[in-house]
Structure 1
Amino acid sequence: MSKSILITGCSTGGIGASLALALSQKKENHHIFATARNTSKIPKELHNLPNVTIFPLDVSSSSSVAEAVKIVRGSGHGLDVLINNAGLPFSMPLLDANLEDAQRVYEVNFWGVVRMIQRFADMIIERQGRIVNVSSIGGMVHLPWNSIYASSKAALTNLSETLRHELSPFGVSVICLQVGGVDTNFDARTTEFNLPPNSYYATIKDDIAGWATGSIKPRGQSGESFAEAVVRDILGARKNGLVFRGKYASSVRALVDWFPGWVVDMVIRMQNPSLARLAKLRNVS
């Protein structure tokens, strides 16, 4: 059965674009609303498909979201599935984080999702449809330099699980994707990384920069294979709640669920040897 699906954050090289392409090519001929703040960044293949509608959408803007509602309502397709994928990366020691930048991350990663859900809820309830929120396993583990981004995703996960109960009387399911390693250009948005001159972490700046730009992160699953797996979740009849997809997602879940905190900390420290190096430089045992 053909469904109407809206996806935020469909810029080339990201999860949203991969999902839009995979869903648009299904034999059911789903209608896809592919959106991004800058539509010129949406893959050209999507621009040429008759079952894809493209328009600009900034989830941090109430007026932009209101215009999106008008477009979807006016299309006559209704809305079966809302995929909240748009997000911003942010890697920085908390002591050095610019508060305006940090607030911007929350405005997109958390409040943008709230804004979308509230404005599109009527259409989703009418179809007894589905909301898919794209979170991250980063919200489950306490990785250094990641506190702002990870906490925004942890908040999104908690929102999703609560919303799942609140919308259950209306026949609406809520999936929260706990995304592991996926090869995208998400971290490529951070082209330069700088710390304040007086940062306590200046001596390990290069190590932090490697995490911020993605240059030292392990390779993930391809966007195409990830999208194919997630498409089955999006369209599956009984899917609801937390879904773990992407490289290392299941491993991180097992680590957090089954091992004591000191083991989790040990794994995190092994992935971040610069912490021990900094402690040694500061004569901290």
Structure 2
Amino acid sequence: MAPKTVLITGASEGGIGNALALAFQQRGLRVFATARSLSKMDNLSKLPNMVLLELDVTSRQSIEAAAAAVRSHTGEEKLDILVNNSGQSYVGPALDTSIEKVRGLFDVNFFGLVETTLVLGMMVVAAKGTIVNISSVLGHTHMPWLAYYNASKAAVDLFSETLRLEIAPFGVKVLTVAVGGVETNMSNTANVAPPELSEGSLWAVTEKYLAKRAAKEHRWATPPAVFAERVVRDVLNGTNGRVYRGVGATAVWIVTTLLPGWLKDKLVANNEVANNKFDIVRKP
């Protein structure tokens, strides 16, 4: 019997997608690992049952080319598992972020995920397989300075959970992974572009905060291999619906589901990350 197939977006080395590609490959699956550049996946290039594909989730042509490559390699119109992992972050005040930045973020985090699912989804339906959407615990809370990232992940979460109900009658599962702290390149402050504040902005980035956060980042994060192993186990065990994985994910679930609104605000506003990311340099 041919091994099950899985396609993963955003599989660049140092990220969640790369760790998932390794974990699925080690379980004997045939992995289609994708990124915008093949060179970003060099660590996967010599592994058996591993096919590397260029894929830009913001390009319909690129997504369709990847789908055609899967069909060419397998000889079938089927894909057992689709992992929508591509994403980017952005830090900045809600009232001092350009609409171009906002649209670019949603193009990757939400619309890219949706379009990839539109192109490859029926192949998963044909296989009665699983769609895995990588979301974030920040889609369930209102952490300051991350308004648009939070919103993009909230959109992913609701799209994913609604999709799950719509395609359940066809034997397809949809797993939504609300990710907490994971030690990846994207979560490292050094790889998050600083906000481009307007002249005379009410907010100024504090270098002290950035240095402090970067120094603490990995202390409170799950190693990607550990995270990936847990998610792969979820998928292969047939888990359906939303799961919380990564450091702090369960705590966010407790805060967002069990606490009253005033206490949520207090906890978020008093959070060290929220307090130290920006200084108010002048008032209107």
TM-score normalised per structure 1: 0.90
* Cα distance in 2, alignment partners of residues 98 and 214 from structure 1: 25
* Cα distance in 2, alignment partners of residues 118 and 191 from structure 1: 30
Alignment map for 1:54-93 (pairs within 5 Å)? 54-76=52-74, 78-93=78-93
The answer to whether the 8 A contact 1:160-1:174 is kept is yes
CA 1:262 to 1:67, structure 2 compared with 1: closer, same or farther past 3 Å?
same
Aligned match of 1:18: 19
**Secondary structure of 1:42's aligned partner:** helix
* Cα distance in 1, alignment partners of residues 96 and 208 from structure 2: 15
**Secondary structure of 1:90's aligned partner:** coil
Aligned match of 1:7: 8
Superposed CA deviations along residues 210-244 of structure 1, whole A, max 9, x for unmatched, are 69x8556562111111111111012113x111010
CA 1:227 to 1:276, structure 2 compared with 1: closer, same or farther past 3 Å?
closer
Q: Which runs of 5+ in 1 are unaligned?
A: none
Q: Aligned residue pairs: how many?
A: 276
Matched, 1:196 2:201: no
Letter in 1 for 2:236: L
Aligned match of 1:181: 181
* Cα distance in 2, alignment partners of residues 208 and 111 from structure 1: 32
* Cα distance in 1, alignment partners of residues 11 and 279 from structure 2: 40
Aligned match of 2:112: 112
Letter in 2 for 1:197: E
Superposed CA deviations along residues 67-92 of structure 1, whole A, max 9, x for unmatched, are 01110111116310000000011111
Q: How much has 1:189 moved relative to structure 2?
A: 2.6
Letter in 2 for 1:195: L
CA 1:215 to 1:155, structure 2 compared with 1: closer, same or farther past 3 Å?
farther
Q: How much has 1:22 moved relative to structure 2?
A: 1.1
Q: Which of the numbers 39, 47, 50 marks the counterpart of 1:49? A: 47
Q: How much has 1:169 moved relative to structure 2?
A: 1.2
Alignment map for 1:91-170 (pairs within 5 Å)? 91-170=91-170
Letter in 1 for 2:275: P
Q: How much has 1:38 moved relative to structure 2?
A: 1.0
Q: How much has 1:23 moved relative to structure 2?
A: 1.1
**Secondary structure of 2:86's aligned partner:** coil
Percentage identity across paired residues of the two chains: 38
**Secondary structure of 2:254's aligned partner:** helix
**Secondary structure of 1:197's aligned partner:** coil
Q: Which runs of 5+ in 2 are unaligned?
A: none
Which stretch of the first structure deviates more once superposed, 254-263 or 213-222?
A: 213-222
TM-score normalised per structure 2: 0.90
Q: How much has 1:209 moved relative to structure 2?
A: 4.8
* Cα distance in 1, alignment partners of residues 209 and 97 from structure 2: 13
Aligned match of 2:262: 262
CA 1:267 to 1:102, structure 2 compared with 1: closer, same or farther past 3 Å?
same
**Secondary structure of 2:178's aligned partner:** strand
